[in-house]
Structure 1
Amino acid sequence: MKKLSKYPIFLFLYSAAALFILSYCKSDKHLPASEDLGSVKNQIIKNNDTFEKQINELTVLVSNNSDEKKLQEKFEELRKTYKKMEWAVEYFLPHSARFINGPALPEIEMDEHTEIEPEGLQVLEEMLYPYDQGNKEEVIRFLKKLINKSNTIETNFQVITVSRDQVFDALRQEVFRISSLGISGFDTPISGTFLKEIPYSLQGVKQTLQQISTDQSKNKALKSILNEIDTASEILKKNTDKNTFDYVNFIPDHFNKITSLLLDFKNQEKIPDVEVTTALHKNAATFFSKNAFNPNAFTPGKEFAFSNEKAALGQQLFNDKMLSNNNNRSCTTCHIPEKAFTDGLAKSMSLENSELSRNAPSLNYAGFQHGQFWDMRKDDLEGQSSDVISNKEEMHGDLNVILAKINQDKKYQTAFTKIYHSQKTEAWQLQNVLASYIRSLAKFNADFDEYMRGNKSAMTAHQKRGFNLFVGKAQCAICHFIPLFNGTVPPTFKKTEQEVLGVAVNGDNTTFDNDLGRGKFHETVATLQHSFKTPTLRNINKTAPYMHNGGYKTLKEVMNFYNKGGGKGVGFKVDNQTLSDAPLQLTDQEMDDIIEFMKALDDKNP
């Protein structure tokens, strides 16, 4: 079986999955005992029965050596059936969902430095497009694994309690999933059938909303949602060509309307919020609503919660040279606000005025990532700040010395005492205010945001064409996810991806860059070698030069690299490359349009 090189590596911690399931599959505390959502569970089980039947039918076709076209037709039926119940499986059984429709790349147990074989629909897609009868037994083996996952779905939904608030939350997540992952073709990288599948996902949402509505005749929002779903589905059925579909208008004109109407439905039905902290606020009407995202979903704990007071104090310290050993540099030395908090150099300079090993990443939107630095060696911004301060080449500061200075400075000590109500400033508090300032740098006020909020004059014709190419032909959005445009995976935003691109030392693409990236910390995990965090593209126009090594001077050099198929495409041996090595076949004008679109991601000055 050839190895799929379409997606970044997914990291999954089993303990986290278990916690997620427990939090969402608790007994219903909002509804009276007499109210039963058995009809919802029955529908899930019914769809799953069809799913299992179709798996068996596909197994028979493979066993009987049916031709490729028949196998692909049955496989597409199978995927469409899964899409009808995707909202439920992804929400209530996230671990199973990962092995039913997750990327065809190994799961990695980070603590154990081990890999788990991928399985599911995307692995099968890779083997069926095109189909090689030499892989017959392998295809059957993976189909049997899929049967086991189908059995897991039935077993779980027969016993768990599914409450109305959870179902609504799951449906809302599904629409946001479609608005980002679904519309980009994230889970159909080879077949490209995603536009055909979205109506089936919407059908599952539509049917379940009708089931949880207490009085359909009086719920005006429900009627509006059903009409909008029907309208969107008809448009999708008319054009299933990913290269010509009008994404730039479809998202604000249809998906945004559906997610907004869902909040009206929730209010009319008096459905309470599920009490779980999420990255997307429960009252966010769309992905692009102002203040849609909750920075506290990315902090280490409640005591680290964001506040404007913390951010203001953090800004003062960010600009204060007391954080360095010799009081000769501040954080702004390498993170200049006018350059989207980069320094404009290929590689930052050390205290001794020599090149460091990597390019200074932008701090804008860094607060919406699980993993800091290019190699993701720190989990959060608090850890990042202490690492930089204490690094001998960067600031060579001593936290104990810095804290002593702060505790002797009346202005700083008064500010820390007001925020944390402690007599002396502690290291975690210093880290927290610096992190809070960085979290405040996400403005979400670019022309693209304005366009998605309804201002159709906010982007130029070039930029609109560029966005359609970005999502469609160029496949940029399967790694730089809408709306953050980084590797933090919607709609739950619980994990951030890294990728292996096969980057060269510069835009000539003649010499491979040997930086191991995250692989340095996991030497026995082959798939992590030369992997780097997927950064945001917001403000990318301000942050040249590009890549972890700063070797690509312009966005056109970056686009040329992707257009050729990354490292493999330019001739490097990169067995674990996660980027597709298939040339994108973009013209110069199309690449220029995508670059123009990326300029629409520049934040405006506050």
Structure 2
Amino acid sequence: MPMKVFFKYPLLAVLSIVTVLFVLFQCKTDKHQPITEDLSAVKSEIAKNNASFEKQIHELIVVVSKNTDEKTIQKKFEELRITYKKMEWAVEYFLPNSARFINGPALSEIEMDEHTELEPEGLQVLEELFYPYIPENKEESIRFLKKLINKSNTIKTNFQAISISKDQVFDAARQEIFRISSLGISSFDTPISGTFLKEMPYSLEAVQLTLQQISTDQSKDKALKSINEAINSAIVTLKKNTDRNTFDYVNFIPDHLNTISSLLLEFKKQENIPDIEVTTALSKNAATFFSKNAFNPNAFIPGKEFAFSDEKAALGKKLFNDKILSNSNNRSCATCHNPEKAFTDGLAKSMSLDHAELQRNTPSLNYAGFQHGQFWDMRKDDLEGQSSDVISNKEEMHGDLNVILGKINQDPIYLPAFKKIYKTPKAETWQLQNVLATYIRSLAKFNSDFDRYMSGNRSSMTENQKQGFNLFVGKAQCALCHFIPLFNGTVPPNFKKTEQEVLGTAVNGENKMFDQDLGRGKFHETVAALQHSFKTPTLRNISKTAPYMHNGGYKTLKEVMNFYNKGGGKGFGFKVDHQTLSDSPLQLTDQEIDKIIDFMGALDDQ
């Protein structure tokens, strides 16, 4: 029997850099710049766990080779995963390229510039092979286990070569808590076995031990003591219930994970640990995902000169609503992006200047600034490119940037505003793009009832909405693609890439005919895995943005949920060779679906 096709995992990961999988190259690309401080106790613990990891891989090879029963193989595999979790905080932070091939999604890596695919490998590929275990896949299982030995050797070689500092170790430990609060809590890396709740205590204990190793007397009886108590409390809760379908996610996050991440800032302060001077999407001073100004829009800009400012946003808002941007002065950006509808237009598909229906639905601009890839097909990397594309599109605005700039540079209001902001004699093309993009970046408010609940206001969500969130994360597995807290496809905790999915979408909610739109595949015709793939949009303000999907074919959220509940396109009998959405029915009842939809209403900004 041939090896299974890797379609069940619901994410398609994409990197823009070719990853070469031998040790010498990894040493060059993965390691941080050498720093004088070296923490031998921390490195010794990483080495110990990695040695156990390699030993367990060899043991698993033996078990598989002897045609041992499925239950024993799965038990050994779960032990191997737990060992990785003990060093995940370090591998993910210091060796991100290696980490992708140790515990990344069981789907091809795609090198966009070369239009090529790299074979998936690692723990999630092995999970596909072991749950259930089919004896005919023995040789494939052993092959991937041997590849995992190579990754273990990479970890060993790199951590022998690099120096690590206290600020880096703290940053890595903090990042792990946020990883647990988003990917960990959603079963991101155990989508089939669902063992994530059993694994999380080991990740938390690893952070606990690491903080103890870098602590001094400044925090031992203060923040560190509180952190230890908070982690111990979280572990007790996790051990009480490991059922993904009944776990209380809606309270575990604020009661435990947010508490731990908040206490980390106190630890940092007491230990006088400086910030790592790298721009990141999550602010270095964010106590939780839900803190005010937790996210930095400047992590998504094309260069420093494009940095966010209130002045740029205000000017961009004025231009966004001005018909000067269209060829005939008869359409503004706001024509198709209505603030009352979360900056959509309420139509199934966008309308051209001649009032003809275009190919796709108008996407919301709320939270668009927190994505790497704009438009449904992700054809532009950032909002600056997106704005010029729309303005110059002959069917949408048919504007000419040079003509528009000519008008702006003669305008008694616009010209002084541009000169004041950019310190140039006249407005330039990139500046026009930047102010429009900056306004769109300002549209992320993070002030929904859900945000308030996660920040401590326990009356801001109804009982149905709380149950809906637990279903959203657990049984329905929505958070596997719509990552907490942005609820889009931008992958936490470092938010450096945005995912797209192949869902097998139908032309409409009747689900009788497959939609032939190639999506991102149009620009990568030789990459099979990208055909019919589309960006994962945010669910924030989703109740205001009907109709749904890239084609606007689904009139209600109930229709969308019924599509997912059935198993996507494959569930309706469509031939979707590279569907990333699991084709296994979710078995959600109508009542459960209604609760999930009710929860999504709690994501509306106020």
Aligned to 1:566: 568
Other structure's SS at 2:409 match: helix
- Give 2:464's aligned residue: 462
Which residue in 2 is equivalent to 1:507?
509
2:186–2:474 CA contact under 8 A, matched in 1: yes
Question: Structure 1 269/340 Cα, relative in aligned 2: closer, same or farther at 3 Å?
Answer: same
Aligned CA distance change for structure 1 residues 591 and 192 (closer, same or farther; 3 Å): same
Q: What's the offset of the Cα at 1:12?
A: 1.3
1:150-549 equivalent positions in 2, closer than 5 A: 150-215=152-217, 218-549=220-551
* TM-score normalised by L of structure 2: 0.97
Q: Does structure 1 conserve the Cα–Cα contact (< 8 Å) formed by 2:465 and 2:602?
A: yes
Q: Paired residue for 2:142?
A: 140
Residue equivalent to 2:35: 28
Which of 9, 13, 30 in structure 2 is aligned with 1:10? Answer: 13
1:4 shift after superposition: 2.5
CA–CA distance in 1 between the matches of 2:179 and 2:531? 29
Scaled by the length of structure 1, the TM-score of the pair is 0.97
Aligned positions of 1:49-128 closer than 5 A: 49-128=51-130
Per the alignment, do residues 215 and 79 of structure 1 end up closer, same or farther by CA in structure 2, a change over 3 Å counting?
A: same
SS at match of 2:375: coil
Counterpart Cα distance in 2 of 1:107 and 1:564: 27
How far the C-alpha of 1:19 sits from its partner, in A, is: 11
The one-character-per-residue Cα deviations of 1:561-592 (angstroms, maximum 9, x if unpaired) are 00000000011010100000000000000000
CA distance in 1, matches of 2:137, 2:189: 21
Amino acid at match of 1:28: I
In 2, the alpha carbon distance for the partners of 1:216 and 1:139 equals 49
- Asked whether the 8 Å contact 2:350–2:360 carries over to 1, the reply is yes
Kindly provide the CA deviation profile for residues 432-453 of structure 1, in whole angstroms up to 9, marking residues without a partner as x. Answer: 0000000000000000000000
Contact 2:501 2:581 in 1 (8 A): yes
Q: Is the 8 A contact 1:102 1:122 kept in 2?
A: yes
Residue number in structure 2 paired with 1:39 = 41
Match of 1:588 in 2: 590
Q: CA deviation at 1:218?
A: 4.1
Question: Is 2:218–2:270's contact at 8 Å kept on the other side of the alignment?
Answer: no
Aligned mates of 1:25, 1:352 — CA distance in 2: 54
In 1, distance between residues paired with 2:309 and 2:445?
Answer: 15
Write the distance in 2 (CA, Å) between the matches of 1:393 and 1:553: 25
Q: Once the two structures are superposed, what CA deviation does each residue of 1:189-209 show, in whole Å capped at 9, x if it has no partner? A: 110000000001011101110
Whichever residue aligns with residue 560 of structure 1, its letter is N
Tell me by how many angstroms 1:21 deviates: 7.7
Helix, strand or coil for the counterpart of 1:585? Answer: coil
Name the CA distance, whole Å, in 2 between partners of 1:273 and 1:7.
34
Partner-residue secondary structure (3-state), 1:115: strand
Unaligned runs of 5+ in 1: none
Is the Cα–Cα contact under 8 Å of residues 219 and 267 in structure 2 kept in the other structure?
Answer: no
Which amino acid is the alignment partner of residue 243 of structure 1?
N
Provide Cα deviations, 1:107-148, integer angstroms capped at 9, x if missing partner: 101000000000000000000000011010000000000000
- Alpha carbons 1:106, 1:115 under 8 Å: kept: yes
The 3-state SS of whatever aligns with 2:110 is strand
Give the Cα separation in 1 of the matches to 2:268 and 2:241. 32
For the Cα contact (< 8 Å) 2:561–2:593, is it kept in 1? yes
Query: Residue 28 of structure 1: SS of its match in structure 2?
Result: coil
CA contact 2:104–2:122 (8 Å) conserved in 1: yes
The alignment partner of 1:410 has SS state of coil
Could you give the per-residue CA deviations for residues 2-41 of structure 1, whole angstroms, max 9, x where no partner exists?
1222222111133799999869611226x5xxxx401101
Task: Describe the superposition over 1:201-246 as per-residue Cα deviations: whole angstroms up to 9, x where unpaired.
Answer: 0111011100000227744100000111111011101100000000
Name the aligned partner's letter for residue 26 of structure 1: Q
SS at match of 2:265: helix
**Equivalent position SS for 2:117:** strand
Specify whether residues 24 and 266 from structure 1 end up closer, same or farther in structure 2 by C-alpha distance, changes over 3 A only: farther
8 Å CA contact retained: 1:24, 1:166: no
Give the Cα separation in 2 of the matches to 1:583 and 1:365. 30
Counterpart-to-counterpart distance in 2, 1:544 and 1:176: 31
Backbone CA RMSD of aligned residues: 1.4
Partners of 2:528 and 2:601 in 1: CA distance: 36
Given the superposition, is the C-alpha separation of residues 363 and 21 from structure 1 closer, same or farther in structure 2, using an over 3 Å criterion?
Answer: farther
2: CA distance, partners of 1:16 / 1:297: 23
Alpha-carbon distance in 2 for matches of 1:218, 1:38: 20
CA distance in 1, matches of 2:169, 2:451: 29
Distance 2:221 2:31 in 1: 26
Residue type at the aligned position of 1:122: Q
Structure 1 window deviating more from structure 2 (476-485 vs 212-221): it is 212-221
Q: Is the 8 A contact 1:216 1:222 kept in 2?
A: no
C-alpha separation in 2, matches of 1:402 and 1:590: 51
* Mapped partners of 2:29, 2:262: distance in 1: 29
Letter in 1 for 2:162: I
Partners of 2:368 and 2:6 lie apart in 1 by: 29
Q: How many positions carry a matched residue from both structures? A: 599
Question: 2-side partners of 1:150 and 1:19: how far apart?
Answer: 12
- Please give the alpha-carbon distance, in whole angstroms, between the structure 1 residues aligned to 2:322 and 2:473: 42
**Deviation, structure 1 residue 473:** 0.2
In 1, distance between residues paired with 2:219 and 2:577?
Answer: 58
- Contact 1:309/1:419, CA 8 A, preserved across alignment: yes
* Cα offset, 1:264, TM superposition: 0.2
SS at match of 1:586: coil
Shift in Å, 1:495: 0.1
**Distance in 2 between the 1:427 and 1:530 partners?**
33
Tell me, yes or no, if the aligned pair for 2:92 and 2:99 is still in contact at 8 Å.
yes
Between the aligned partners of 2:89 and 2:343, the Cα distance in structure 1 is 38
Following superposition, the deviation at residue 374 of structure 1 comes to: 0.1
Tell me the distance in 1 between the aligned counterparts of 2:27 and 2:301.
17
Letter in structure 2 aligned against 1:110: M
**1:14 to 1:253, Cα distance in 2 relative to 1, 3 A:** same
Same amino acid, percent of matched pairs: 78
Paired amino acid for 2:372: H
For each residue in 1:355-404, what CA deviation from the matched residue of structure 2 results, as whole angstroms up to 9, or x when unmatched? 00000000000000000000000000000000000000000000000000
Deviations 1:472-495 (A, max 9, x none): 000000000000000000000000
